[in-house]
Structures are given as structure tokens and as C-alpha cells.
Amino acid sequence: MTISAVPPVFKNVGAPGVDDFYPLNEPAIGTPLSKDDYPQNKTVPKLFQPLKIRGVEFKNRLWVAPMCQYSAVDGHMTDWHLVHLGGFATRGAGAVMLEATAVAPEGRISPECPGIWSDTHIAPMKRIVDFIHSQGTTVGIQLAHAGRKASTLAPFVQDRREKAGGIHGAHGYLLHSFYSPMSNNRTDAYGGSLDNRLRFPLEVVHAVRQAWNKPLFFRFSATDWAEQEKGDNGEWVSWGIEQSVVLSRKLQEEGIDLVDVSSGGNYVGQKITIESSYQVGQFASFGVCSDDGVQVPFAERIKKELPDLLVGAVGLITEPQQAEGTLQDGKADTIFLGRELLRHVDFPLCAAQELGVAAKPANQYEWAWRRMMKPRI
């Protein structure tokens, strides 16, 4: 076997729209190479097909889930975030969602979480966003308020240049604590009935949608992982998939483009047993068993009920075939990856290889990928 030692030839052209020089990648990293030069790309798996939302094109459907890093200083993102998030962009992720970013100082999960309440947060965040964009990757921000789970220690700004926005309504934080009957004990217009419990989350969505005309996502927990969603008397006693379908329908009516379906985080007694061929989800005690991924069955149910609403699946999705099957079977429209990307940052390029796609690596990394991405008939 002969391996060429000739370096790839690059045009000395910088990526547009950023102040610093970064070599332009054409096509974008993580997208299929020309089917004329790479015959295997005549048929492209759904994971590597683009998705357009409100005029914003996401180059593939493997997206980085928002993951807290607890590395900000007074709400300001640091070089850690640049390296952490920039690495996903240079390895082919279709979108990068910035971690839960507090809208108020007291809304941070920890004192080391990033914020968006001060204009001083703009410059360090813009530096990271610009780098991600320079690699041809869409970037979004997840707005959050931790509510009762906020640290006990002590409006969108266009200069940040995010192209998508997300609202964190999962994992026991403020919005989740309103919509779940396990945590909402209010007796006013914001508590009691399902409509009342959904009132505040929907008011937040409405206000954000009025200020933001770009893609808007909403992450919520589809279940509290309690034993019953309804009591013997027919009243809701915990949060579950039936109420999640109602919430999803109302979110769609308010202009949410995509729901990111997670679970848990609100009930200290939650029990999630995981055992399957993919190590991704068997919940015998709750009557749910799936090799898809720990939360894919919830995404599937919502997609079935609301086929026109985009749905993201997340949770112990660890194999390319597993992710592709989730999309091919119509259970979700896109895949959010978290821990798997922390273990394997180049998962998108490895997934392309396993699924038989020749995908574009970063110019600077072509040395490592040329032999693996060679044309095949």
C-alpha cells in the first residue's frame, strides 16, 4: 500500500465574516464531498443531509447538546469554552449549542456558569461564536434560569451573532418546576391545572419569540421518572409523556421550531435502569424498553403526535447506526450528542466513515483522513 506524502493544496482564502484568519473549508467540515468525485456519496444517510429552519441551514443532523462546563468567570466565557466548543466545530458537528446561559446572576446553576445579563459578556462570547462560524458550523445559545436549583452563592444582543436560540425548560430548573405537578404547589393562575402550570413557560416562549425571528428550540423533560403520571383519582401527580405531548403542541403554536426531548432532574426518587445491546435504555419498572437511546421513545411519541414539529433526540446515543436508524425510522429529525462527543470529539467524521460517506475534514486535518475518505464505487 502506498500513502501519498504530498500535502493537500489549499486556497489561501480566509473564512468570511470573522476578523481573524482561518482557512476557508469548502465544502464545510462534516458535509459529504462531491458525488462526482466520490461515487459512494450518491446516496447520503439522513444524518448527513442538511436541515433548513427559518432560512438557516444546518449542514448535517449531528448536533452538540448544551453541556455545562462550570468554567466561566463572573458569567464571562473563557479560553476553556473556545477550545471545548471550537473542537466540535473543527470535527464536523452540524450545530453547536452553547451551554445553559443565565439571564440573571441569581439564575446561574453555579457561580461558574456563563451569563447574558451584561454587555460585558458580549466580547468573550462573540470570539467563540465567530470561531465556530468560521468552521462552517451553526451556533446557538441556550437561555436558562435555574430557579430553585440555582446556586445559593451569589435581552438577546445581536452582537453575539448566534443563529439559533434555545430555552432550557428541563432538568428541574425554573420552567420545569412550573410545569411539573411534583414541584408546582401554587394555588394561583400559575398552579393547579395543566393549563395553569404551562402558563409561565408559554409566556416565556411567547416573549422570546417576539424578540427573536431565528430558529428557536425548547428543551424539556418528557418525564419526571416517577411511578405514575396520573393518580387513581385521575389527577396528574407527576410529569410524563401525556402532558409532554400537550406542552409540545402548545409550544408549536407559540412558534417553537424544534423540541429537544430530554427527561428527569426534578424528582429525587427517579430511577432509570439502563441495560440493552447499545447500553441505552431498558426501563422495565416503567414499561419502556428500547435499544434506541434512553429518551428516544419520548421523542418518537411526540413526533408521531405532531409530525410537522421538528424533534431532537438525545440521551445515550452512542453508535452511528443507532443515530441513523432513529432518523430513518422517523423517530426524530436531528440527533443531539453530549457525553459521546466528550469521549469522541470526531464522532461526526467517524460516523460518516462507518455509514459509507466521504465527508469533508478540516483542511488542517486532511492528512489523517485522506486515506479513509478515498473514492469508492
Is residue 60 within 8 A of residue 94, CB to CB? The reply is yes
Reported as a single tens digit per residue, the pLDDT across 10-62 is 567 999 988 889 999 999 999 999 999 999 999 999 999 999 999 999 999 99
Reported as a single tens digit per residue, the pLDDT across 69-114 is 999 999 999 999 999 999 999 999 999 999 888 889 988 989 999 9
| 320 vs 109, higher pLDDT | 320
Q: Is residue 30 part of a domain?
A: no
Q: Is residue 192 part of a domain?
A: yes
Say if residue 196 is in the same domain as residue 138.
no
Average pLDDT over residues 186-212: 96
Say if residue 138 is in the same domain as residue 230.
no
Rounded to 5°, the CA angle 231-307-283 comes to 40
Average pLDDT over residues 188-192: 98
**Least confident piece of the model among 2-6, 56-60, 315-319, 339-343:** 2-6
Q: Is residue 27 part of a domain?
A: no
- In this predicted structure, the answer to whether residue 160 has a pLDDT above a threshold of 80 is no
Domain boundary residue, one of 87, 120, 149: 149
Residue numbers of the domain that contains 175: 163-270+287-336
- In this predicted structure, the answer to whether residue 285 has a pLDDT above a threshold of 60 is no
pLDDT of residue 376: 75
- Which range, 80-89, 101-110, 271-280, 285-294, is most confident? 80-89
Q: Which residues are catalytic?
A: 173
| 294 vs 46, higher pLDDT | 46
Say if residue 295 is in the same domain as residue 194.
yes
Say if residue 316 is in the same domain as residue 168.
yes
Instruction: Tell me which long-range contacts 192-200 makes (C-beta under 8 A, separation of at least 24).
Output: 194/236, 194/243, 194/246, 198/246, 198/247, 198/250, 200/175
Q: Is residue 14 part of a domain?
A: no
Average pLDDT over residues 62-68: 95
Is residue 163 within 8 A of residue 56, CB to CB? The reply is yes
Q: Is residue 143 part of a domain?
A: yes
Specify the number of domains making up the chain. Answer: 3
Say if residue 135 is in the same domain as residue 184.
no
Per DSSP, 7 falls in state: P
Q: Is residue 20 part of a domain?
A: no
Closest CA to 168 of 115, 77, 214, 101: 101
Q: Please name the residues in contact with 253: beta carbons below 8 A apart, sequence gap of 6 or more.
A: none
The CATH number for 115's domain is 3.30.750
pLDDT of residue 10: 59
Closest CA to 110 of 77, 45, 52, 154: 154
Percent of the chain with pLDDT over 90: 72
The CATH number for 208's domain is 3.20.20.70
Say if residue 182 is in the same domain as residue 210.
yes
Say if residue 350 is in the same domain as residue 319.
no
Q: Is residue 34 part of a domain?
A: no
- Looking at the DSSP assignment, which residues form a beta bridge with residue 169? 220
Say if residue 231 is in the same domain as residue 306.
yes
**Least confident piece of the model among 160-164, 177-181, 300-304, 328-332:** 160-164
Say if residue 43 is in the same domain as residue 189.
no
Grade residue 7 by pLDDT with cuts at 50, 70 and 90: low
Say if residue 174 is in the same domain as residue 263.
yes
pLDDT of residue 152: 42
